């Protein structure tokens, strides 16, 4: 698991010194990313701090762990870790900043930037920052192990108490630990926690021996975790036991997720107007930062520091129902239960209403009995009473919801249906009871219209509910990846336990055919894992001791024991599900127009209906009152805010879910819209286009070793000299020779800047660069052309000489990923301009670009210059995506219109990007952009259809065609059209579930 280490450097005076330290650190195999200045080195990798310090000292300089930042800022206005990540990216982009560790309350900045510059960067984001003043005197970090906290609400309460203590600058709290920065004493902090009824002790104290404590294993932030949590906190066994005892409580109590979000299941919403009302109600609750209400899923995702009870109360006061179920399985069961109940209810309601409406309509039309006469007076009165019963039992929910909306001062789709059908029935019963009040030609009855409209709209709701269930299948498939039980190995042997009882540190067994229940690390055995549903990678991966396994993957072959590291909501799969759910609840910019129209839609439709009715009443043909009623009812019924409300979210749910199936995680819906408008894709080189690890790609033999069969001897001698080295080139040679038996070298010598020499099997062997052989007076004419060709291709040639003669040349390079060329060809075919942005030298960069098929190369760019390069492309009018994986890519990822992070990348890269690839394949870029285009196209189709339907339907219902056709639209036909419009939108969105990106 990668850690970020910051070292303070001494003795560096120029860029040559910086490059020397950089090369020394990059040469370590356990270092993945390095950023060095004259004063600091920020290293990302698996190395220990002591080993890194020794490496720098071996290079001739001094280093120590940077324990205190250069500047600490007190922040305000940040409500969640997404705000913190945004602030961190802005600070890292400031010139002179080498590292920034940011949470929602403070920022610790390393580097030479001034306080004024940093504060300005924060304020540009809309937040506030200031120097801590006296609080910073003698500031230090204290790690506390906590117990007794059952949920993130407890953690928020604890954090508030700690921040209130004099001298505390920042406090980062979860349910098991607290990291407090400031000048307050440990005793003061512990006392504050205990006053809340919880327990705390300093990590590493005598009462909490590190030897007996279990480290909290880190789930990858889609491979890794947030930078500010990279140092493992030791948790006392008592806390683990306490958490295990309270597990049942935490699954039943409404709690806020680790990312500050809470999901509500809603009841009673029928259209976009309902969405706006619920959203306003939720946003009015204290502590709510953002609320996303999803009509398609009948749910709301709320972020902030609010009280769950306050959210439910706010929704209920708005006239709707709400409940909170945090457990994914139970929430899914509840959603399915509600959906099934609603479908059954809509079915029988539509059946009852149509069973009355159809016969009445047929009887009335065949016998010309729609007009009231003395002969059919009693029959129609009976029909009227039966219709009233239908309206109460099959359509009662329309009238109850309309009344509730009226009490709350709003109007919804139910209002339109209730007013339309109610007006038709009231007019008909009035004619039925007091016929003499109306002229004979105005004694037309509309009982069948009320029954038919209720029947058709209920039928539409039933079909829509079924279609919406299909749209959630992508998320359902992700939820189904987790098995219900796990096989634990303890002193009682092997036995199955429910998944909810698995805790960190448990030893679990996996066998062929099993699905991995939680994230963990293999401690014994070997397996082949199918990770296709998690990463999109179709080829099973081999996993041995020390390898990570992730929940939801399937064992194809083998058996292992592994230690549970991340369980419950902390597994990679759980975090993916949470990201997908959040993205499905988000809204793109294109949906904002629909929202604005929806907010005023129902009142405007009611006004149009009344105005149209009035016009027909005063200037229409006789009987005016009958025509006015038909027009008013038809306008109310045909208008469909439901189609407008479903147009965007249905496409998002289907598109985001489909992308997840291809291993592409979308942070929010706006990223889909931005991704669909791109024309340029910029790639980092190392680790993105290439493997990120040097490899021996070719072996050339010369003189007596020119024979192909002698290549293994060349490799054997070269590996024998390099097998004790940690240099990347040496590791590449040794890795290539792992199947060979290597001889032991004698009289081994390292020749600084040249290579190595030794006696191997009685022969004098030299391995290194061209200068090494020239110094030993060895004729290199035979290899000079090959060396020149290799250099032109960006390949590093390593020469081998045996007994004074050139024997071989090993070509070493960081090769392209196996699928890079095919993936870039796909992107070219999709019409994108491809650019490589790298800090590497132009010769190597151009060689890689030519092989990969890149259109343009921007080489020799320092990390801080990558963001500027993206900005220049945008200034030229391009819509730019940046694909990267490292810390140095984070500013460019943030600057780009769409940032795409490789799944194996650094924490800050993943946090900054708007799209994350779960597999280390650039085909994910092509898949993601293709799905984004398909989703936006589908969204536009839905919005266009909904707008056109209402734009044409309402005027037609108002009678605009009457002067040309002499007929009016029947209210029953209007009801059928309204139901069909919603079904059409949902069905069109479901086409995305079968979308396949072009290969």
As annotated, the active-site residues are 684
**CA dist list (Å): 852 to 136, 571, 820:** 51, 36, 7
Question: Cβ of 685: how many Cβ atoms within 10 Å?
Answer: 24
Spell 2-17 as b/e; 16+ CB within 10 A means b: bbbbbbbbeebeeeeb
State how beta strands 519-530 and 554-566 pair: antiparallel
Q: What is the largest CA-CA distance in the chain?
A: 126
**CA dist list (Å): 257 to 112, 447, 489:** 37, 51, 30
d(CA 69, CA 792): 44
Write down the H helix ranges in 140-260: 152-163, 186-195, 237-245, 247-252
d(CA 180, CA 174): 12
Which residues, other chains included, contact 985 with Cβ-Cβ below 8 Å and sequence gap of 6+?
Answer: 643, 646, 647, 650, 942, 945, 946
Helical (H) or strand (E) element with 108: strand 106-111
**CA dist list (Å): 267 to 261, 315, 328, 412, 596:** 20, 10, 18, 14, 23
d(CA 690, CA 732): 15
Q: Please, what is the angle between helix 413-433 and helix 447-471, to 10°?
A: 160
Sign for the pseudo-dihedral over CA of 703, 709, 715, 721: negative
d(CA 447, CA 316): 34
Read off the tokens for 293. Answer: 């209400």
d(CA 217, CA 244): 16
Nearest Cα residue to 553 out of 536, 578, 577, 575: 536
SS (H, E, C) 699-744: EEECHHHCCHHHHHHHHHHHHHHHCCCCCHHHHHHHHHCCCCCCCC
Nearest Cα residue to 652 out of 596, 591, 597, 599: 591
Write down the H helix ranges in 246-318: 247-252, 272-283, 308-317
Which residues, other chains included, contact 379 with Cβ-Cβ below 8 Å and sequence gap of 6+?
Answer: none
Which residue do the tokens 């909501």 mark?
569
Q: Please, what is the angle between helix 641-661 and helix 413-433, to 10°?
A: 150
d(CA 141, CA 109): 15
For residue 268, is it left (φ>0), alpha (ψ between -120 and 50) or beta? Answer: left
First to last CA, the chain: 34
Read off the tokens for 651. Answer: 């496409």
Residue 338 contacts residue 265 (beta carbons within 8 Å): yes
Read off the tokens for 52. Answer: 């890194």
Q: At 530, is the secondary structure helix, strand, or coil?
A: strand
d(CA 937, CA 949): 18
d(CA 661, CA 580): 10
DSSP for residue 124: T
**CA dist list (Å): 338 to 342, 363, 463, 588, 867:** 6, 37, 15, 28, 49
């Amino acid at each position: 698991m990668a850690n970020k280490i910051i070292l303070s450097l001494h003795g560096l005076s120029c860029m040559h010194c910086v490059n020397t330290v950089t090369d020394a650190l990059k040469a370590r195999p356990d270092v993945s990313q390095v950023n060095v200045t004259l004063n600091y080195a920020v290293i990302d990798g698996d190395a220990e701090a002591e080993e890194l310090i020794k490496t720098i000292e071996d290079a001739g300089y001094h280093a120590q762990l940077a324990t205190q930042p250069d500047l600490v800022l007190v922040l305000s206005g940040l409500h969640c870790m997404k705000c913190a990540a945004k602030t961190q990216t802005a600070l890292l982009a400031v010139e002179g900043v080498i590292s920034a560790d940011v949470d929602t309350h403070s920022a610790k900045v390393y580097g030479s930037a001034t306080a004024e510059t940093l504060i300005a960067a924060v304020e540009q984001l809309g937040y506030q920052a200031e120097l801590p003043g006296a609080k910073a005197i003698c500031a230090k970090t204290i790690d506390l192990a906590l117990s007794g906290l059952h949920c993130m609400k407890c953690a928020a309460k604890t954090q508030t108490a700690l921040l209130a203590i004099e001298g505390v600058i920042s406090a980062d709290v979860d349910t098991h630990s607290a990291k407090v920065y400031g000048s307050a004493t440990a005793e003061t902090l512990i006392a504050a926690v205990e006053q809340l009824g919880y327990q705390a002790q300093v990590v590493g104290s005598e009462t909490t021996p590190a030897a007996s404590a279990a480290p909290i294993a880190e789930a990858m932030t889609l491979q890794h975790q947030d930078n500010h949590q990279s140092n493992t906190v030791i948790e006392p066994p008592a806390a683990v036991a306490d958490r295990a005892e309270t597990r049942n409580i935490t699954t039943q109590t409404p709690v806020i997720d680790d990312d500050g979000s809470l999901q509500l299941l809603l009841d009673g919403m029928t259209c976009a107007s309902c969405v706006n009302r619920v959203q306003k109600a939720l946003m009015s609750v204290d502590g709510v930062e953002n609320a996303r209400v999803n009509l398609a899923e009948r749910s709301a995702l709320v972020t902030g520091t609010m009280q769950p009870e306050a959210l439910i109360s706010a929704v209920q006061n708005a006239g709707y129902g709400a409940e909170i179920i945090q457990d994914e399985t139970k929430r899914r069961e509840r959603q399915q239960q509600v959906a099934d109940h609603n479908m059954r209810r809509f079915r029988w309601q539509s059946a009852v209403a149509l069973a009355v409406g159809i016969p009445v309509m047929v009887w009335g039309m065949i016998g010309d009995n729609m007009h009231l006469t003395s002969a059919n007076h009693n029959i129609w009165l009976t029909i009227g009473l039966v219709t009233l019963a239908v309206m109460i039992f099959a359509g009662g929910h329309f009238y109850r919801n309309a009344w509730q909306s009226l009490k709350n001062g709003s109007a919804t789709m139910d209002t339109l249906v209730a007013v339309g059908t109610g007006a038709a029935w009231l007019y008909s019963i009035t004619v039925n009871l007091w016929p003499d009040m109306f002229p004979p030609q105005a004694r037309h009855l509309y009982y069948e219209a009320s029954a038919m409209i209720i029947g058709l709209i209920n039928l539409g709701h039933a079909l829509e509910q079924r279609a919406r269930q299909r749209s959630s299948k992508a998320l359902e498939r992700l939820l189904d990846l987790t098995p219900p039980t796990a096989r634990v190995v303890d002193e009682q042997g092997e036995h199955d336990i429910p998944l909810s009882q698995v805790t960190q540190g448990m030893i679990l067994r996996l066998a062929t055919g099993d699905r991995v229940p939680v994230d963990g690390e293999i401690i014994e055995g070997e397996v082949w894992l199918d990770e296709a549903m998690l990463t999109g990678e179709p080829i099973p991966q081999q996993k041995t001791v020390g390898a990570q396994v992730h929940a939801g993957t399937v064992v194809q072959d083998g058996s292992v024991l592994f230690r549970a590291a991340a369980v419950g909501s902390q597994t990679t799969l759980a975090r993916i599900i949470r990201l997908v759910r959040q993205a499905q609840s988000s809204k793109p910019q294109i949906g904002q127009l629909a929202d604005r129209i929806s907010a005023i839609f129902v009142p405007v439709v009611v006004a149009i209906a009344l105005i149209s009715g009035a016009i027909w009443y005063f200037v229409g043909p006789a009987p005016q009152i009958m025509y006015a009623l038909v027009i008013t009812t038809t306008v109310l019924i045909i208008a469909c805010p439901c189609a407008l409300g479903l147009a965007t979210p249905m496409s998002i749910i289907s598109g985001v879910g489909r992308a997840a199936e291809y291993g592409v995680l979308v942070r929010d819906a706006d990223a889909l819209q931005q991704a669909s408008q791109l024309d340029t894709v910029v790639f980092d080189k190392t680790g993105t286009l290439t493997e990120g690890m040097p490899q021996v790609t070719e072996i050339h033999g010369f003189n007596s070793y020119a024979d192909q069969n002698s290549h293994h001897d060349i490799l054997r001698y070269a590996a024998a000299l390099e097998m004790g080295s940690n240099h990347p080139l040496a590791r590449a040679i040794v890795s290539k020779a792992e199947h060979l038996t290597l001889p032991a070298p004698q009289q081994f010598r390292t020749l600084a800047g040249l290579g190595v020499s030794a006696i191997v099997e009685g022969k004098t062997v030299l391995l290194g660069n061209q200068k090494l052989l020239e110094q030993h007076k060895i004729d290199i004419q035979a290899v000079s052309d090959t060396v020149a060709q290799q250099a032109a291709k960006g390949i590093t040639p390593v020469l081998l000489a045996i007994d004074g003669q050139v024997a071989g040349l090993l070509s070493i390079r960081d090769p392209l990923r196996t699928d890079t060329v095919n993936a870039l060809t796909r992107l070219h075919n999709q019409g994108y301009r491809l650019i490589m942005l790298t800090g590497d030298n132009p010769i190597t960069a151009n060689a890689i670009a030519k092989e990969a098929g890149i259109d343009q190369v921007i080489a020799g760019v320092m990390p801080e210059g990558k963001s500027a390069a993206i900005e220049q492309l945008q200034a030229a009018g391009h819509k730019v995506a940046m694909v990267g994986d490292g810390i140095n890519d984070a500013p460019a990822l943030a600057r780009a219109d769409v940032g795409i992070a490789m799944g194996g990348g650094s924490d800050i890269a993943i946090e900054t990007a708007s799209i994350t690839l779960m597999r280390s394949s650039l085909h994910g870029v092509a898949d993601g952009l293709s799905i984004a285009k398909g989703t936006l196209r589908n969204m536009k189709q839905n919005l266009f259809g909904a707008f056109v339907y209402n734009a044409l339907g309402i005027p037609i219902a108002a009678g605009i065609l009457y002067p040309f056709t002499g007929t009016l639209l029947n209210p029953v036909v209007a009801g059928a059209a309204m139901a069909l419009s919603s079904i059409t939108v949902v069905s069109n969105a479901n086409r995305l579930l079968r979308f396949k990106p072009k290969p």
